């Protein structure tokens, strides 16, 4: 005879595992609900305190901005002072170089004038002082000649002719008009 296979009876361990599964599921469900409620509580608290936290962050931002502006202003002032000092130094150096260059140009101009004067003298061209001296001598000689030259006698004064009798003017014949063609 063939025996029918029977399903073995659940062992006590398997029965406990089933209970454990139900207990685990309940525990997970309870934990999930607690997590959900904690999230809702955090959301509610964030809404309540969000405005205060936001205002606190704004105040911290304002404070930080003021500090950075103060530091930036100090740094800018220091940089400006250094820049003005450097500009003053550069200006002084430019003046020194300009004075040296001007002195060199003056010296070069003097040397050039001396060489030109020397070249003109070697060619026999009179110097400006020579021409000035000659002009003065000519003026002196003119004055001496004028003093030595006798003045011609002035011509005698002319007599005016006697006044004539004024005759009436001669009559003038009237002009004829010619007809226009």
Per-residue model confidence as pLDDT tens digits over 47-89: 888 778 778 888 988 999 999 999 999 998 889 999 899 999 9
Q: What confidence tier does 139 reach under pLDDT thresholds 50, 70, 90?
A: very high
Mean pLDDT of the chain: 80
Element (H, E) at 103: helix 12-123
Q: For residue 134, give every residue at least 6 positions away whose Cβ sits within 8 Å of its Cβ, in sequence order, or none.
A: 126
Q: Do 117 and 127 meet the contact criterion of CB atoms below 8 Å apart?
A: yes
The answer to whether residues 88 and 94 touch, using CB atoms and an 8 Å cutoff, is no
Q: What is the Cα–Cα distance from 139 to 181, expressed in whole angstroms?
A: 76
User: Looking at residue 55, what is its pLDDT?
Assistant: 84
Residue 88 or residue 27, greater confidence: 88
Predicted TM-score of the model (pTM): 0.31
């Amino acid at each position: 005879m063939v025996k029918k296979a029977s399903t073995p009876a659940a062992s006590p361990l398997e029965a406990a595992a089933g209970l454990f599964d139900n207990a685990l599921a309940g525990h997970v469900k309870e934990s999930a609900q607690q997590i959900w409620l904690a999230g809702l509580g955090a959301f509610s608290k964030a809404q309540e305190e969000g405005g205060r936290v936001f205002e606190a962050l704004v105040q911290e931002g304002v404070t930080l901005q003021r500090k950075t502006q103060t530091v930036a202003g100090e740094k800018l002032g220091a940089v400006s002072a250094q820049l003005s000092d450097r500009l003053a130094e550069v200006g002084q150096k430019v003046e020194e170089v300009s004075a040296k260059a001007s002195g060199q140009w003056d010296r070069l101009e003097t040397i050039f004038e001396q060489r030109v004067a020397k070249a003109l003298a070697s060619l026999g061209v009179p110097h400006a002082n020579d021409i000035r001296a000659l002009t003065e001598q000519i003026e002196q000689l003119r004055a001496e000649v004028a003093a030595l030259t006798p003045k011609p006698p002035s011509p005698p004064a002319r007599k005016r002719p006697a006044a004539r009798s004024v005759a009436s003017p001669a009559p003038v014949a009237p002009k004829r008009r010619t007809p226009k063609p």
